[in-house]
């Protein structure tokens, strides 16, 4: 697969399809050098596509949080992806070197950048509680194992052992983080509903209250907020 100095969207789409359907062939023929420009452009296009998919799912209410909240993914995915790709490439570069790979950092980065072909599909998996975390990690790990054998020339069993262990740790960590996040979101939602109910009740009774009763109600409302905040803090601990 030859490099081109001119951006061609059709080529990017073809590469995304090949990485998803035949990653072995893609990585076997992937140029190991040629600069960072094309891999970065590929990454940004794939990340924006993933952001668009996630935003669409958000609009129809399939993602956590309020509708339209996922629109920020169109910007967050490419920015976070670009920064994260260099970090991931650095980590994998060290691991591959420890496994005996002769390749340089640019090759490691290219492996990572083209992995972003999975972003649109991974965005869909994000809507699946817990199972999505497992599937995303396993799919990405499978791709790294292919990169290890086809690009870095490492033994398949060695790659499966090394990255299988890492994947298991990532799954445990990811599931724990997802559980904590979902619990926090549920607490925020309960707090919001309680606040709305308290405000509604206060407005209904406002006209019938004397000034003294209004002052007492305000004090009760503030104390309720303080108790709710304290309870949320205790739950986090």
Tell me if residue 207 falls in helix, strand or coil. coil
Q: What confidence tens digit (pLDDT) does each residue in 16-61 have?
A: 999 999 999 999 999 999 999 999 999 999 999 999 999 999 888 8
Residue 39: the pLDDT is 96
Query: pTM (2 decimals)?
Result: 0.75
Dist. CA 155–CA 46, nearest whole Å: 29
Q: Dump pLDDT digits (tens) for 178-215.
A: 888 878 777 776 767 766 666 666 566 655 656 666 56
Ordered DSSP codes for 74-103: HHHHHHHHHHHHHHHHHHHHHHHHHTT---
Element (H, E) at 206: helix 156-206
Residue spans of the domains in the chain: they are 9-183
What CA–CA distance (Å, rounded) separates 128 from 117?
20
SS (H, E, C) 174-202: HHHHHHHHHHHHHHHHHHHHHHHHHHHHH
Non-local CB neighbours of 52 within 8 Å, separated by 6+ positions: 74, 120
């Amino acid at each position: 697969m030859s490099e081109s100095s001119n951006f061609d969207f059709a080529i990017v789409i073809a590469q995304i399809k090949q990485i998803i359907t035949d990653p072995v062939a893609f990585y076997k023929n992937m140029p190991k050098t040629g600069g960072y420009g094309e891999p970065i452009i590929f990454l940004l296009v794939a990340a924006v596509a993933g952001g668009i998919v996630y935003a669409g799912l958000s609009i129809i209410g399939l993602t956590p949080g309020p509708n339209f909240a996922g629109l920020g993914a169109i910007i967050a995915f490419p920015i976070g992806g670009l920064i994260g790709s260099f970090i991931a490439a650095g980590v994998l570069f060290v691991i591959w070197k420890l496994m005996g790979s002769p390749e340089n950092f640019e090759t490691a980065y290219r492996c990572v950048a083209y992995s972003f072909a999975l972003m649109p599909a991974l965005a869909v998996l994000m809507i699946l509680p817990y199972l999505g975390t497992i599937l995303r990690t396993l799919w990405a790990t499978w791709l790294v194992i292919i990169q290890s054998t086809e690009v870095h020339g490492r033994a398949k069993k060695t790659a499966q052992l090394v990255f299988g262990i890492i994947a298991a740790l990532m799954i445990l960590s990811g599931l724990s983080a997802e559980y904590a996040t979902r619990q926090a979101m549920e607490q925020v939602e309960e707090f919001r509903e309680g606040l709305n109910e308290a405000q509604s009740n206060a407005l209904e009774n406002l006209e019938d209250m004397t000034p003294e009763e209004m002052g007492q109600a305000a004090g009760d409302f503030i104390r309720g907020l303080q108790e709710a905040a304290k309870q949320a803090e205790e739950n986090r601990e």
